[in-house]
Each structure stands twice: as structure tokens, then as C-alpha cells.
């Protein structure tokens, strides 16, 4: 896999367009003056976490005696809880924060931006060919940069959709996110069972 192919793959897994309604829903509960700062901070957190997993993900999982399936199952559960809040809105929005309270790492950096699928893909890239870490780093930075640009202009999409349109898209994405989270959970369970069966 070349750098461009890896970057495209990571960009598609990050799915910034799919995350737009969720990010907008979270940010609209925050003071307008703080929104850009919070978004940039969470994007940088996500980049840091993805770089960490690219270079040390496999070692971290081995040190904690965890498998990649654990990342998938945990991420699926978190995304499912977020999706339920999107479909059935509650005070504080999709993350249950009080009005004006800032999200911190969860859920914007993890699992929305640096989700289990992205982290697993990065671990796989590093495991497949550890001699090309510079190439994988460039691919990650390119995918993250393109995603960050799209998310930083979420206000443009918010203006186009309007309040009611954004609410409708948010609930629709909630339904999609439920399916994605369940699939993520099932994939983790299936891989765990398959791995356990091979060991036995």
C-alpha cells in the first residue's frame, strides 16, 4: 500500500462528513466564543492518540494484556450510548454535558475522530511493515488534516441545514450510528471468539 492509498483509507474510516452532525450537536451547547478552541483542542488530542497507536499501539495492548477486539467492543458500547442520546435528546445534548460544559477527549477525540477502526487500522499498518513508519505518519497527517478542515467548517453546514434540519440529520445519524456501533461490537466479539477458538 502506498502513502496515498493509506491516507484515503484512513480518511474514509475517520468519516468527517458523517461526524459533522454529531460535532455540531455537541458544539452548539458550548459558548460560541469557545467552540473553535474546543474543536481544535479535540482534533489535536485525536491526532496525538492516533500517532501514539501508530507507533506504540501494539506494545500498549500487549503490555495491558489486551487485544484489538477490546478496543472495538469498548468503542462500540460508547458509540451506542451516544447514538441513543442523538435519537432521544436529553438535557445536555448527546454527551450529557451541562449547557456550556466542554467535552474533554471523550467523545469528540475518542471515539468519534480516533475511533476503534482507525486505531486498529494504524496498528495493522505498523504491524504489516514497520520499516515504513515515515510513510504511515505522512498518510495519517494527510487524512487527519483533510478531516480537520472539513470539521472546522461545520458552521457552514449548520447554516445551510438550519436548526430543524440539523436536528433531523442528527437523529438520522443517530440511527446510522446505532447500526455502526452494534456492528463494531459484534465484530469485536466475533474476532475474540475466532481468536479464542484458534488458541484452543
Instruction: Please count the other Cβ atoms lying within 10 Å of the Cβ belonging to residue 5.
Output: 10
How is residue 155 written as a grid cell? 458552521
| Partners of 106 in the β-ladder | 104
Question: How far apart are alpha carbons 174 and 187 in whole angstroms?
Answer: 20
Beta bridge partners of 104: 106
Give pLDDT tens digits along the chain (200 positions).
789 988 988 887 787 877 787 788 788 778 888 889 999 999 999 999 999 999 997 787 788 787 777 777 877 787 787 778 777 766 555 555 555 567 778 878 887 889 877 887 888 788 778 889 999 999 999 999 999 998 998 878 777 777 677 677 777 877 877 887 788 789 888 988 888 877 66
Other C-beta atoms closer than 10 Å to the C-beta of 78 total 19
Domain ranges of the chain: 3-27+34-96+115-198
Whole-angstrom distance, CA of residue 151 vs CA of residue 40: 9
13 and 118 in contact (C-beta within 8 Å)? yes
Phi and psi, residue 104, nearest 5°: -135, 110
Distance CA 147, CA 16 (A): 5
Amino acid at each position: 500500500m502506498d502513502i496515498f492509498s493509506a491516507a484515503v483509507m484512513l480518511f474514509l474510516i475517520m468519516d468527517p462528513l458523517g461526524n459533522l452532525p454529531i460535532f455540531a450537536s455537541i458544539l452548539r451547547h458550548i459558548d460560541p466564543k469557545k467552540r473553535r478552541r474546543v474543536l481544535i483542542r479535540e482534533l489535536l488530542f485525536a491526532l496525538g492518540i492516533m500517532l501514539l497507536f501508530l507507533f506504540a499501539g501494539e506494545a500498549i495492548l500487549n503490555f495491558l494484556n489486551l487485544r484489538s477486539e477490546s478496543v472495538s467492543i469498548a468503542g462500540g458500547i460508547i458509540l451506542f450510548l451516544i447514538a441513543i442520546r442523538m435519537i432521544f435528546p436529553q438535557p445536555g445534548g448527546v454527551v450529557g454535558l451541562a449547557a456550556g460544559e466542554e467535552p474533554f477527549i471523550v467523545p469528540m477525540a475518542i471515539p468519534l475522530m480516533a475511533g476503534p477502526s482507525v486505531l486498529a487500522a494504524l496498528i495493522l499498518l505498523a504491524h504489516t511493515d514497520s520499516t515504513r513508519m515515515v510513510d504511515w505518519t505522512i498518510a495519517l497527517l494527510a487524512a487527519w488534516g483533510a478531516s480537520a478542515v472539513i470539521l472546522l467548517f461545520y458552521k457552514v453546514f449548520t447554516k445551510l441545514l438550519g436548526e430543524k434540519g440539523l436536528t433531523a440529520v442528527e437523529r438520522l445519524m443517530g440511527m446510522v450510528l446505532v447500526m455502526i456501533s452494534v456492528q463494531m461490537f459484534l465484530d469485536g466479539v466475533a474476532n475474540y471468539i475466532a481468536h479464542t477458538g484458534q488458541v484452543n
